[in-house]
Amino acid sequence: MDQIVRELSFAQAIQEALSIAMERDPRVFLMGEDIGVYGGAFQVTGDLVHRFGEDRVMDTPISELGGAGVAVGAALGGMLPVYEFQFSDFATLAMEQIVNQAAKLRYMLGGSVSVPLVMRLPCGSGTGAAAQHSQSLEAWFAHVPGLKVVQPSSPHDAKGLLLAAIADPDPVIIFEHKLLYKTRGAVPEGHYTVPLDKAETKRVGKDGTIVATAIMVVKALEAAAELAKEGIDLEVIDLRSLRPIDVPAIVASVTKTHRLMCVYEGVKSLGIGAEISAAIAESDAFDFLDAPIIRLGGAEVPIPYNPELEKAAVPQVADIVAAGRRLVRGR
């Protein structure tokens, strides 16, 4: 029987995934600051505490390092914790547990244990939350062997990637852009998963490839639609997974379109676009390039509080349009 498809918000899709996972497996439980009665900093967990109780929707103290340590221990003990940070920036306080423990224990213990842990990190700018609450740090985590890192751009993928992450035996970090929580899209009912290692072609084109992440996928699609009016036909790939990166999908696209632009919100230097560019430079697709690769990333500054400066610090649709013209026409 075909699944019924409805329109849900990004936040509703995540909440539905959590509910389904908790109904299917009593080992799944949620941890995080203010995720209980308050419903989460961005109201994602909603009323789950009333449905599943405080033993499975646990408010934690204001100690990210402590909460992450409990989550790692619970995963080692056979539970399936989903830990929510209020802001991705606060995960910096828990890096020891994430990077030195969760990511390494399976390797260091010869595969005798696994750490089936999911961490949800609201990220990105656009809410006026200033420099300490608006960063895009996904490249930090994608640098670490032992972690899987994903970044959905649609409600469909937000649900499917989360359900896949909960079922995965290794730690998965999910970056959820805050501006996406209220966006809406088609989401099937019931249980389904989206692979943790596959990019998706969101728009087919022939004049160049845009590889984008999270909110930048939405902006890239809007920019591609504008450029199409000028006769520039760009392909848009939603990276979805930052570790591992679906290099074959990007290579295939660039081999066809002969041009590449990487668009991401994190700081440009040493960001995810650098890794994608290097992967293409090391592949057979390099010989097909008709223009230099363009990296369009965040400015080399902390995210400003001022709303106009905040917009200027990260790529916007107009920036992608201008870069698309340069990519295809050289100007």
115-124 pLDDT tens trace: 999 999 999 9
Q: What is the pLDDT of residue 1?
A: 53
C-alpha 216/C-alpha 303 separation (Å) is 16
The pLDDT tens digits for 137-179 are: 999 999 999 999 999 999 999 999 999 999 999 999 999 999 9
For the domain that residue 129 is a member of, what is the CATH number?
A: 3.40.50.970
Reported as a pLDDT band with limits 50, 70 and 90, residue 5 is: confident
**CA–CA distance, 7 with 198 (Å, rounded to integer):** 23
Nearest-angstrom CA–CA distance, 46 and 324: 40
Same domain for 145 and 267:
no
Report the predicted TM-score, pTM, of the whole model to 2 decimal places.
Answer: 0.96
User: Which of 147, 163, 188 is at the close of a domain?
Assistant: 188
Q: What is the pLDDT of residue 127?
A: 94
Distances (CA, A) of 80 to 18, 190, 195, 283: 11, 20, 19, 38
Catalytic residue of the set 16, 33, 84, 133:
133
Radius of gyration of the chain (CA): 20
For residues 247 and 215, membership in a common domain is answered with yes
Of 64, 176, 235, 265, the active-site residue reads: 64
List C-alpha distances in Å: 189 to 1, 84, 105.
12, 24, 36
137 and 84 housed in the same domain: yes
Average pLDDT of the chain is 96
Query: Do both 144 and 231 map to the same domain?
Result: no
Same-domain pairing of 164 and 267: no
Look up the CATH number of the domain holding residue 218. 3.40.50.920
Of 158, 188, 218, the position where a domain reaches its end is 188
Place 260 in a pLDDT band, splitting at 50, 70 and 90: very high
DSSP output for 252-287: HHHHHHS-EEEEEEEESTTSHHHHHHHHHHTSGGGG
Residue whose token pair is 């656009």: 126
64 given a catalytic annotation: yes
How many domains does the chain fold into?
A: 2
Rounded to an integer, the average pLDDT of 292-319 is: 97
**84 and 233 inside one domain:** no
Domain residues for 68? 5-188
- Residue 233: how many other CB atoms lie within 10 Å: 16
**265 bridge partner residues:** none
Tell me, yes or no, whether 97 and 218 share the same domain: no
Residue 33 a catalytic site member: no
Does 2 score more than 70 pLDDT? no
Instruction: For residues 80 and 179, state if they share a domain.
Output: yes
Q: For residue 194, is it within any domain?
A: no
Mean pLDDT along residues 118-133: 96
Task: Tell me the two tokens of residue 231.
Answer: 């006769």
Whether residue 217 is found in the same domain as residue 288 = yes
**Which residues face 188 on adjacent strands?**
5
92-110 average pLDDT score: 97
| Sequence-separated (6 or more) residues with CB below 8 Å from residue 153 | 177, 180, 212, 213, 214, 215, 217, 218, 238, 240
Q: In this predicted structure, what is the pLDDT of residue 330?
A: 87
